Amino acid sequence: MNFLAHLHLADISETGLAANLAGDFAKGDINHHPQHLKQGIWLHRKIDNITDNHEIIVDLIKSFPNSSRRVAPILIDLTFDHYLAYYWDEYHHQSLKDFCQKAYLDIQQTTQLPEKLQTIVPNIIEQDWLGSYQHREGLNQAIKGVSKRLSKPELFNTAIKDIDKLYVDIEIAFRTFYPQLMAYSKIYSRKTPELYLPE
């Protein structure tokens, strides 16, 4: 899952928004991170593990051509965020705009975020990364942005074209899998080890 999905799952599981987002940037042992981030990082890793190993996702990755299969998991994550934003009203009681503002405020007010996350927070907010996923152009911009941050941007050369071809397949996978992930996030939030709970 990507940024919007992790924030959404954090919200419905009543865990820290910024803490869950930090999971993308928090490396190594959870115990090395601040107490108020630990539960979010732990849940983030659980969600990623479920996603990476789920049959629906494994089969979807195999649908991508060899030229972009190495980055297929990233492309799926980004496109899932697009579909979550597109169908937002079916998954959350708040409007997407209001939720994004709540998430941005929480990210700004949360201290001791991983350094790499802190450096991109201004861009996330100013360019409304979360809200922009609602439109296909926003998804394309997100793909281009990710490709620039990785060491081999050439792996994304056919990414947008590949998503065009698999657009419906990815939507079906999202609509089938994401409700399961919502349930998993609520279950695992209640199973958080006590040493990772906020003080």
Give residue 151's pLDDT: 76
**Contacts for 109 with CB less than 8 Å, ≥ 6 apart:** 18
pLDDT tens digit sequence for 120-139 = 999 999 999 999 999 999 99
| CB contact at 8 A, 143 and 132 | no
Q: What's the pTM?
A: 0.94
CB atoms within 10 A of CB 85: 23
**Which residue in 76, 94, 96 sits closest to 86, CA to CA?**
96
Q: Mean pLDDT in the chain?
A: 94
pLDDT in tens, 58-113: 999 999 998 889 999 999 999 999 999 999 999 999 999 999 999 999 999 999 99
One-letter amino acid for residue 134 of the chain: Q
